[in-house]
Structure 1
Amino acid sequence: MSISQGEDPHTSTKTAQCTVTCMYQAHIGGHWRTVTALWTKNMMNHSLNICVDSIKPNHRQNCKIDLKPWQFWGKKSYKTFEVDGLQIDVYWDLRSAKFSGSPEPCSDFYVALICDEEVVLLIGDMTKKVYKRTKSQPRLADTLLFFKKEHVFGKKSFTTRAKLDKRREDYEIVVESSTFGVKEPEMSISIDGIVLIHVKNLQWKFRGNETVLVNKQPIEVLWDVHAWLFLNPGSSHGSFIFKPDQPKDKENTSQDEIKENGNSSVSKDHSTYIRSETSQCCFFLYAWKFE
């Protein structure tokens, strides 16, 4: 069993570029559309690229926001672009944004998409300020975060945050590993400080899956860390999937069905399937190990 989806074109071991890709369904102009937010950060750049799918196949429009530290003036602004003749205004305020090692902020910020005087997508926690600034109406249909992917870099520990159910904003996920030295390779995965998976003899169990309970919610965890053990350090990544279990009477979304790519759109039919079958988010973590 292999869950590696290949190397992300936005990620390079030479530049150690951390990326977070979030895919949402938002009701814009009478259609459910996939909106992709790509947060990217390396030593020279920090940016957010927002792409909105057209109703035309294989068409999308994007808006890029540069968040370089020396461009403080650009951390609160707005841009306008068009999709299928619709004007979409993007407002953001990241002046006080807090980060926890990820290119995506964890609090005190907002990024809002406005169409026809309605907030069709709101990312962040400064809700009141969005409506006050834009004088727009709240979205009539809830948006849905259905896919998230993150590339992280480290030596032994990899920490991230992800939304795994509707009741919580984020859970802290930590992957700890020991793959070199006199001891047998091993790995642990904890969520909110509780170790839920501990794998010993990792050289024999470098691929596997296990279902754990998080707030009474079953989460299937799949891992593939073959690259950590048998390839040159930094040449590839360990792969992890955190997938909320589906009801048994519904068809599960298998890993082969999630043909994710940071530059590719999810089809309208697949987006409809995701919305009808689950309101949970499938999270991919790609951990690049350097010794």
Structure 2
Amino acid sequence: MRDFVGCLANQAAMVAEATCSVNTSASAMAEPTVQDAITCFYRTVLSSGKELFTQVVWSANQVGGAFLSITVQYGISPSKPHAYLVRKKKGRRSFAAGDTAISLHWDTSAAAYESGPEPSKAFYLAIVADSEFALLLGDMCGRFIEHFGATHPIAAFSMVSRREQVSPREQVPGETLYSTKAALVDGGKEHEIMIRCKGDELNAKESELYVEVDKKEVVSVRRLRWNFRGNQAIFVDGSTVDVMWDVHGWWFCESSRCAMFTFRRRSAMESRLWLDGDLEQGFSAFSLLIHVFKNQ
């Protein structure tokens, strides 16, 4: 998948939030070693017709540090980037992107986490652009809107892509499991997705890969030594969703035991499986990319 940063020009803003003590020296400003990371991409269309593209990354490194980073791009005009590194769990930052006034607001001081680095409740993250709410995330956004100014209009925004870089949440002997939740169809309900892999390279004949949506098996692959890459079309909420898998790293790479799973709704104009190059033409449908790092 084309990296979202490649879709952005140099105009950017970043907020990095650490839950542990952070050295403020120049070396400490570098990005931490990330173990788990959830990256979400959003597209906003303001009432003026202007477009904003936002990348939100929730991440955690191996020593227990949690980080929030935000990148905001107005249009495609390149200019000097705006970057911030803060340790506060609540705050705001303002800057201008072209002729658009943008402010970031966040509060994760009481955030609750179910699993992984992304908070599940008791937080908010908001972007205000030209006196419009350009992005609202978290269950505390209602309180933020009332405090900030309930008369401000809410612009049309949507998630266009989600990328998860994770380790398996649960393991039993001989079996690797990972589960997540996502709405695979624009405007559709959130579905529970389960990825399950059985066997290993020493027991290739018995190896199996299963993908379930809402506890219903939708993909079943056996003999992964020969079928470690593939794709299959499934139907979710009345739409065609292409599922692609690549578990080569789990089986043949000692240094990087990573598997990739991609889910993307096929748009009405597409009659075939999408290719990586197609994504460079723009975000025509929501996509979910999962990188699962198998335990050594």
- TM-score, normalising length: structure 1: 0.76
CA distance in 2, matches of 1:219, 1:250: 12
Q: What one-letter code is carried by the residue in structure 1 that aligns with 2:120?
A: C
CA distance in 1, matches of 2:126, 2:293: 31
Structure 1 residues 106, 217: CA separation in 2 closer, same or farther (over 3 Å shift)? farther
- 1:187-231 Cα deviation digits (max 9, x unpaired): 111122222112111111111111112233321100011111111
Per the TM alignment, residue 163 of structure 1 is displaced from its structure 2 partner at its CA by: 2.4
Q: What one-letter code is carried by the residue in structure 1 that aligns with 2:58?
A: W
- Structure 2 stretches lacking a partner, 5+ long: 4-31
Match of 2:143 among 126, 129, 132: 129
Match of 2:68 among 21, 24, 48: 48
Per the TM alignment, residue 64 of structure 1 is displaced from its structure 2 partner at its CA by: 4.8
Pair 1:22 & 2:40 matched: yes
CA distance in 1, matches of 2:119, 2:223: 36
- 1:205-263 Cα deviation digits (max 9, x unpaired): 1111111122333211000111111111x51411111011221467875223336xxxx
Per the TM alignment, residue 80 of structure 1 is displaced from its structure 2 partner at its CA by: 2.2
- 1:22-48 Cα deviation digits (max 9, x unpaired): 111123575212111122112332111
Pair 1:247 & 2:268 matched: yes
CA distance in 2, matches of 1:139, 1:64: 29
- Name the structure 2 match of 1:90: 104
CA distance in 1, matches of 2:129, 2:2: 37
Per the TM alignment, residue 289 of structure 1 is displaced from its structure 2 partner at its CA by: 0.7
Match of 2:157 among 143, 165, 168: 143
Q: Is the 8 A contact 1:49 1:65 kept in 2?
A: no
Pair 1:36 & 2:55 matched: yes
- Name the structure 2 match of 1:286: 291
Match of 1:208 among 205, 210, 230: 230
CA distance in 2, matches of 1:193, 1:161: 12
Q: What one-letter code is carried by the residue in structure 2 that aligns with 1:200?
A: R
RMSD, aligned α-carbons? 2.9
Pair 1:173 & 2:193 matched: yes
Match of 2:217 among 195, 206, 209: 195
Q: What one-letter code is carried by the residue in structure 1 that aligns with 2:42?
A: Y
Q: Is the 8 A contact 1:49 1:62 kept in 2?
A: no
- TM-score, normalising length: structure 2: 0.75
CA distance in 2, matches of 1:47, 1:287: 20
- Name the structure 2 match of 1:70: none
The alignment-based identity, stated in percent, is 24
Q: Is the 8 A contact 2:51 2:75 kept in 1?
A: no
- 1:102-152 Cα deviation digits (max 9, x unpaired): 222233422000123221111223342121121154545311211111101
Q: Is the 8 A contact 1:118 1:137 kept in 2?
A: no
Per the TM alignment, residue 281 of structure 1 is displaced from its structure 2 partner at its CA by: 1.3
